[in-house]
Amino acid sequence: MIVIIKQDSTWDELHPLLRYCQENGIEVQETYGFHLRMLNLVGDTPKLDLDRILAFDAVENVHRLLSPYTLAGRGAHPEDSVVRIGSAAVGGGSFLLIAGPGSVETEEQILETARAVKQAGATMLRGGAYKPRYSPYAFQGLQQEGIRLLVQAGREVGLPVITEIMETAQLPLFADVDVIQVGTRNMQNYELLKELAHCKKPVLLKRGLSSRVEELLLSAEYLMADGNADIILCERGIRTFETVLNYTLDISAVPVVKELSHLPIIVDPCHGAGRRKLVPPLALAATAAGADGLILDVHCDPQNALSDGHRALTPADFQALCAKVSAVRGCL
């Protein structure tokens, strides 16, 4: 970390910064440039708080040389991480195909969909039980009963299951869920992340809808800092100035994350596209960009779905897409 010191700063102004470094076990090397006075900070600098350093009177500016996410970053872990979930795996060449309805609605609905997606090649079953809806009047999910029906359907067809958690108090209800999903709205719910760091289950962390890649990786760091290494990242579209779609699917996040991190990254083209017709091209683009998997809304009767029907594929659409995804992967 390089700290630029104000030209006219006095020893009294510099001293508190040097003391802060000493207290944090950081070695300080002073360098004088032609017009610059700088300190090179050596040690566990990713743990230093940039804002704390900027607050010292003597400091003009500060630049990080190392990423602040040491555990999620590639630096300390050059090989791809592989997250294993029962019979499924993701990362390091293993592709995860998650499919299922936006919401679990009835026992028959989730079972019928589970059978259909399993037959078409899905490796994990999704289904929302706690639903983060924009309107309080929209269907909020079957909640605890939804989790029970999802787990039952997954067991019946032999697929691991994933569903979204909204708050820490719900964690005991997730005992039989294989992967816990943190939705876009909770990517920066740090208390939830700290709790999930101890839960001994893989976590799918979706990118916040206005979050930078660095912020996504720092949220992953929260999970990893307290011991959870099984993290799967997910790009699902972000808010931009473009209004044609609800969100802009940031395909470039896939190779960018792969460069910066060893964690697997999958893509959700359904939430990114918001329209059924756009899902296949975006899914194929994500696959071609090197995604480690896809998460797709699939519903047997999208027109009558209680949520997300407009962007859900039918089982037949899903089957056709799976074949194309395999073909794209064959070219990589």
Provide the binding-site residues for ligand PEP, judged by CB under 6 A. 102, 128, 132, 164, 183-184, 206, 236, 268, 271
Complex with ligand PEP: residue 206 or 258, whichever CB lies closer: 206
Shortest Å, Cβ 97 to ligand PEP: 15
Closest CA to 223 of 202, 197, 203, 200: 197
Nearer to ligand PEP, 206 or 299 (CB): 206
Binds 258, which of Mn ion, ligand PEP, none (CB < 5 to 8 A, cut-off by type)?
Answer: none
Taking alpha carbons only, the member of 146, 234, 239 closest to residue 182 is 234
Among 105, 250, 292, 308, indicate the residue that binds Mn ion (CB under 5 A): 308
Q: Report the alpha-carbon distance of residue 185 to residue 144 in Å, rounded.
A: 20
Residue 102 as a binder of Mn ion (CB under 5 A): the answer is: yes
Nearer to ligand PEP, 61 or 144 (CB): 144
Give the binding range for Mn ion (CB under 5 A) out of 11-19, 178-186, 252-260, 307-315.
Answer: 307-315
Alpha-carbon Rg for the chain in angstroms: 23
Question: Which entry of ligand PEP, Mn ion, none binds 236, CB below 5 to 8 A by partner kind?
Answer: ligand PEP
Provide CB contacts within 8 A for 16, sequence distance 6+: 56, 57, 58
Q: Report the residue number, 182 or 325, with the smaller CB distance to ligand PEP.
A: 182
* Window contacting Mn ion (CB under 5 A); options: 48-56, 172-180, 191-199, 301-309: 301-309
Q: Kindly give the interhelix angle for 213-225 and 253-260, rounded to the nearest 10 degrees.
A: 40
- Taking the C-alpha atoms of residue 69 and residue 153, their distance in angstroms, rounded to an integer, is 37
Give which of ligand PEP, Mn ion, none residue 202 binds (C-beta under 5 to 8 Å, depending on kind): none
Which one of ligand PEP, Mn ion, none is in contact with 206 (Cβ closer than 5 to 8 A by kind)?
ligand PEP
Q: How far is the CB of 211 from Mn ion (least distance, A)?
A: 18
Burial (CB < 10 A; 0-12, 13-18, 19+), residue 312, is: buried
The strand pairing partners of 39, in sequence order, are 3, 30
Q: For residues 19 and 90, give the distance between their C-alpha atoms in angstroms, rounded to a whole number.
A: 45
- Spell out the residues 6+ positions from residue 175 whose beta carbon is closer than 8 angstroms to its own: none
Contact 206, 219 (CB under 8 A): no
Q: Could you tell me the smallest distance in angstroms from the CB atom of residue 306 to ligand PEP?
A: 12
- State which residue, 178 or 268, has the beta carbon closest to ligand PEP: 268
Q: How is residue 132 written in tokens?
A: 């983060």
> Angle at the Cα of 197 (from 100 to 215), degrees rounded to 5?
80
| Both tokens assigned to 59 | 């400091």
* CB-based closest residue to ligand PEP: 183
Query: What is the per-residue burial (b if ≥16 Cβ within 10 Å, else e) of 227-251?
Result: ebebbbbbbbbbeeeeeeeebebbb
Return the number of the residue (128 or 160) whose C-beta is nearest ligand PEP. Answer: 128
Q: Binds 81, which of ligand PEP, Mn ion, none (CB < 5 to 8 A, cut-off by type)? A: none
When the beta carbons of 59 and 266 are compared against ligand PEP, the nearer one is 266
Tell me whether residue 128 or residue 269 sits nearer to ligand PEP (CB atom): 128
The span from the CA of 186 to the CA of 184, in Å, is: 5
Least separation, in Å, of the C-beta of 35 and ligand PEP? 48
> Which residues here bind Mn ion, judged by CB under 5 A?
102, 308
